[in-house]
Structure formats: C-alpha cells, structure tokens
Amino acid sequence: MFNVELSKKAAKFLKSRTPKDRSRLLSAIKLLVKDPHTHELDIKKLKSEDIIYRLRVGSYRILYTIFEEEIVILVLDIGNRGDIYK
C-alpha cells in the first residue's frame, strides 16, 4: 500500500470542486494507493516526462509521480483536461 501526498496546488483544486466532483477525484486517488501502475484505470506516462503519470477521471486529469523507495505517491496537480498541460 502506498501513501498519498497532495501538493498545495492539488489540495487547493480539490477544495474548490463540488462535493460530487471531489468525491470522484478522491475515489480515483484511493484506487492508486493499492497499485499506482494498475491497468484498471486510464493511466498513461507523460511523453515529455519519464516519471510523471496521468490519470483520467472524466474531464479531469490527475498528474502524479511515484517514489517506490518511500512507498509514496505525490499528486502534483489536478485540473481540467484543457488546462492541466499548460
């Protein structure tokens, strides 16, 4: 089991969402805790970065990195599909 840490930017985005959207995003993050490389979720490695992964949750994207040695998933950013990659 991995521990999850949210960056300030990701936490701020989560707080600004409606309870329904926040619940969907947190549920997806909880699934990462079991296996951050799972194929059950829509996860892809970003082409421009070797260590950053993208999880698609509807129109939202969760960008995260994995620290295998520390057993930590760091959620770097969460945002809308069109804005997250800018």
Q: What is the pLDDT along the chain (86 residues), one digit of tens a residue?
A: 899 999 999 999 999 999 999 999 999 999 888 878 776 788 888 887 678 999 999 999 999 999 989 999 999 999 998 888 77
For position 16, which CATH number holds?
3.30.2310.20
| pTM beyond 0.85 | yes
Supply the pLDDT for residue 39.
67
Q: Are 27 and 19 in contact (CB under 8 A)?
A: no
DSSP string, 58-80: TTEEEEEEEETTTTEEEEEEEEE
The CA distance from 1 to 23, in Å, is 21
Residue 86 lies in a domain: no
Supply the pLDDT for residue 62.
95
Residue 72 lies in a domain: yes
Structural domain boundaries enclosing 21: 3-80
Tell me how many degrees the CA angle 63-58-26 measures, rounded to the nearest 5: 60
